[in-house]
A and B are shown apart, each in its own frame.
Chain A
Amino acid sequence: AQSVTQLDSHVSVSEGTPVLLRCNYSSSYSPSLFWYVQHPNKGLQLLLKYTSAATLVKGINGFEAEFKKSETSFHLTKPSAHMSDAAEYFCVVSAYGSSNTGKLIFGQGTTLQVKP
């Protein structure tokens, strides 16, 4: 079975400093991994996805993530945080198998706080 674990429930950074949100995954198969962001009272927006192509994935708004199979990790980074980055971030794996179509498995989320 697939699962994801987000290692930090809350991360606080200062504006202009780097962002690191950590995610480990568990999967018996080559996973499809995603990062989504949710701003208050909004739906989920896809930041980036990994689907077995390049291991370094670039997303929107300057975010990127690196797939490391040896470490079963898919950490999200951004070189310089903006105030508008403050939100909830979810690491997500696509459930595998014909009986699991259309199912995404979500981590518990990391709240990113950006201080001025």
Chain B
Amino acid sequence: KAGVTQTPRYLIKTRGQQVTLSCSPISGHRSVSWYQQTPGQGLQFLFEYFSETQRNKGNFPGRFSGRQFSNSRSEMNVSTLELGDSALYLCASSLQGAYNEQFFGPGTRLTVL
């Protein structure tokens, strides 16, 4: 069974631009969660989608948004990029989300200049 895939793997953007990251979960998994990983803050939860609905959201500004499609693929969008948005963005999929182990993709490394 194929694992979680994320595209692109690397992105370089400038301040003020917007970016869209994509995540394809493991086949049959309906929950997709997104995390931001930085050296200073560690791994922080962004949001979770299940059956095209956002069920949970972390403490991030509204510039961070996402969506999920009927095939469970998910996208994350960051608008008006700031230098502090430079991070590794990880998505994870699980069967149901609650208390299930999550399987992570390789991440998208976003650099904001």
Contacts and interface: CB of A to CB of B under 8 A. Distances in A.
Given A43-B90, A94-B99, A108-B42, A102 B104 contact: no
Nearest to B41: A108
B45 A104 contact: yes
Contacts of A98: 98
State the majority secondary structure of interface residues on B: strand
B75 interface: no
Interface in B42-61: 42-45, 48-50, 55-56, 58
Interface in B65-113: 90, 92, 94, 97-99, 101-107
B33 interface: yes
Interface residues of A, number: 25
B31 interface: yes
A101 B55 contact: yes
Nearest to A45: B104
Contacts of A108: 42
